[in-house]
Structure 1
Amino acid sequence: MDQLSAMRVFVRVVETGNFSRAAATLNMPKTTVTNMVQGLERHLRTTLLNRTTRRVMVTTDGALYYERAAQILAELDELDGSMSNSQTQPTGRVRVEMAGAFADLLVIPNLCDFHTRYPQITLDIGVGDRLVDYIAENVDCALRGGTPTDQSLIARKVGEIGFRFYAAPRYIEKFGIPNHPNELTESHYCIGYLNATSGRIMPMDFCRGDEKLEINPRYVISVNDARSYVNAAISGIGIAQAVEFMVRDAVAREELIEVLPDWDCEPLPLYIVYPQTRHLSNKVRVFVDWLARLVQTLKAEEQRAQIRRAS
């Protein structure tokens, strides 16, 4: 019996909750997964898992073995990664999750650069703002906007992005240009952004010098996707508080016009998050570092745009 391989299979069964999902993530036949776990139990002379027709339950011995096995495998992966040198290209698959706007407008347009640097890394990008089970779904890391609140995740801040306020020409023709954020609750409409976690419409933050405001704007439509949010603004149905890189093309095409230019907004921090139970392998580390550089480049472009506006 290959005990190391059997340990990896057992850990995946525990993390995914059943043999079928473990087999799928390991790209193995289910019978092979079952036989390897049974062989490990015979080797250890104990029962690690109790099987029913619907689920797998970890025994007391199984829980103890899982804890130590997961730690040993993580340390072994870290050791393998640390032995890589500058002459060795990182290799393998990296599974990352991110919102659609980050994928479409930030990461994917620059992936040729990443592939040129690291041609032996394959990226699987999951797109969306959904809650992710990092262990069961075998996700290496995620790019998230906002400060993480999940204490089970390790978070590395890779930068921050700024917001401005925009409206379509057809909206301005109908409602005019607001002169103050308070007008957004009285004589104007906005696009509402629905927080996927709380189910509530997110307020708009404004700051100008020492003056800070939080506005709960009137809205006709709310969405929970950044791309739909921008498209709604382009349609002329309301004012949007949008990340600059998301509306750059629409502004260039004069589909959106900046409004309330004297007002700023607190920047949105960007974090790479990953489970505490996982050490960053070399292949994941180079992707995280590349992404951090990409965000910093974006931030520099925003700062140059602010200088142009000020002048």
Structure 2
Amino acid sequence: MDKFAAMQTFVRVIDSGTFTRAADLMNVPKSTVSRLIKELEKELGVRLLHRTSRQLTLTQEGHAYYEGSIRVLDEVGSLDASVLSTTRSPKGKIKVELPGSLAYHVVVPALPDFFARYPDVQVEMNIGNRSVDLIAENLDCVLRLGPLLNDSLIARPAGMLPLITCASPAYLARHGTPENPADLGDSYTIVRMTSPRSGRDFVFHLTCEEMTTEIHGSHQITVNDSGAALAAGLAGLGVLTTYAFLVAPHLQSGALQRLFPDWQGDQIPVHVAYPTNRHLAPKVRAFVDWAIELLRAMQVV
């Protein structure tokens, strides 16, 4: 039995929650995963897992062996990385997840620069802003907008994204240009946004000196995606509050007009996060550092 391979397989089974999921992530038959776990238990002379048709649970010995395996695998990963970093550039595939707004308008357009720096790295990109188990989903890192809801992640702050309130000239021609947030009321429609995580309405604020007010208005459309909200604003469906980096080119072209320039919108934090109990491989560290550099250099923070 390859003890190191069995240890890696055992950790993958626990992280993913099932033998089938572990086999899929490792791209091996489920029978191989089962065999390695059985051989590991036989060599150790203890049962590591309680198996039922619905779930796997660790025995007391299994929990201790899992924690020890994490430390061993992390040390081996650190050793490999320290040696490889002196001999070659980062190499291999990384799997990342980020919101569509950042993917379409910031990260993907800049990827030629990343690949020019790291030609041997491949990026597999999931679009989303979910609260997920990175290890179970086999994700190396995530870019997250808003507060992080997962304490098991190491989060590196990448700054703050300001929100701007604006509307299309056609909409303002029909309804007039409000001079103060309080003018909105029932006289204007807003593009209402809800959280894709919770489904709750987003409440946007504007601050001027020591005064803070919420943006209110009736609505005809509700969306849970910032790209759809931008499209609604451009179509003249109401007053839009969204990320400054999304509307910047449309403000410049005149397709949108900023409202209440003396008032400051909310600031939304953005983080790059990765699991706490995993060694950060050079290829992942390269992407994390590059993403933070990109966000700051593009002045979207």
The TM-score normalised by the length of structure 2 is 0.93
Q: Tell me if the contact between 2:166 and 2:256 (Cα under 8 Å) persists in the aligned partners.
A: yes
Q: Distance in 2 between matches of 1:74 and 1:189?
A: 54
Q: Distance in 2 between matches of 1:65 and 1:217?
A: 57
SS of 1:138 mapped into structure 2 = coil
- Residues 41-100 of structure 1: per-residue CA shift (max 9 Å, x gap): 111111212333343332222122112112221232223223343552011221111111
* 1:266-277 correspondence runs (5 A): 266-277=266-277
RMSD, aligned CA: 1.9
Deviates more, 1:253-262 or 1:135-144: 253-262
Q: Distance in 2 between matches of 1:221 and 1:90?
A: 46
Q: Distance in 1 between matches of 2:197 and 2:56?
A: 29
Q: Tell me if the contact between 1:203 and 1:217 (Cα under 8 Å) persists in the aligned partners.
A: no
Q: Tell me if the contact between 1:160 and 1:295 (Cα under 8 Å) persists in the aligned partners.
A: no
Q: CA deviation at 1:168?
A: 1.3
Partner of 2:293: 293
Q: Distance in 2 between matches of 1:217 and 1:124?
A: 40
Q: Distance in 2 between matches of 1:85 and 1:15?
A: 27
Deviates more, 1:284-293 or 1:163-172: 163-172
Q: Tell me if the contact between 1:9 and 1:22 (Cα under 8 Å) persists in the aligned partners.
A: yes
Q: Tell me if the contact between 1:166 and 1:239 (Cα under 8 Å) persists in the aligned partners.
A: yes
Letter in 2 for 1:209: E
Partner of 1:239: 239
Unpaired runs of 5+ residues, structure 2, are none
SS of 2:298 mapped into structure 1 = helix
Q: Distance in 2 between matches of 1:214 and 1:72?
A: 52
Shift in CA distance, 54/147, structure 1 to aligned 2, threshold 3 Å: closer
Q: Distance in 1 between matches of 2:187 and 2:280?
A: 51
Alignment pair present for 1:192 and 2:192:
yes
Q: Tell me if the contact between 2:165 and 2:265 (Cα under 8 Å) persists in the aligned partners.
A: no
Q: CA deviation at 1:221?
A: 1.7
Q: CA deviation at 1:197?
A: 3.6
Unpaired runs of 5+ residues, structure 1, are 304-311
Shift in CA distance, 148/131, structure 1 to aligned 2, threshold 3 Å: closer
Partner of 2:21: 21
Alignment pair present for 1:223 and 2:223:
yes
- Residues 212-268 of structure 1: per-residue CA shift (max 9 Å, x gap): 223344322221111111011111111111212212343344332222222211322
Q: Percent identity?
A: 36
Letter in 1 for 2:59: T
Letter in 1 for 2:129: D
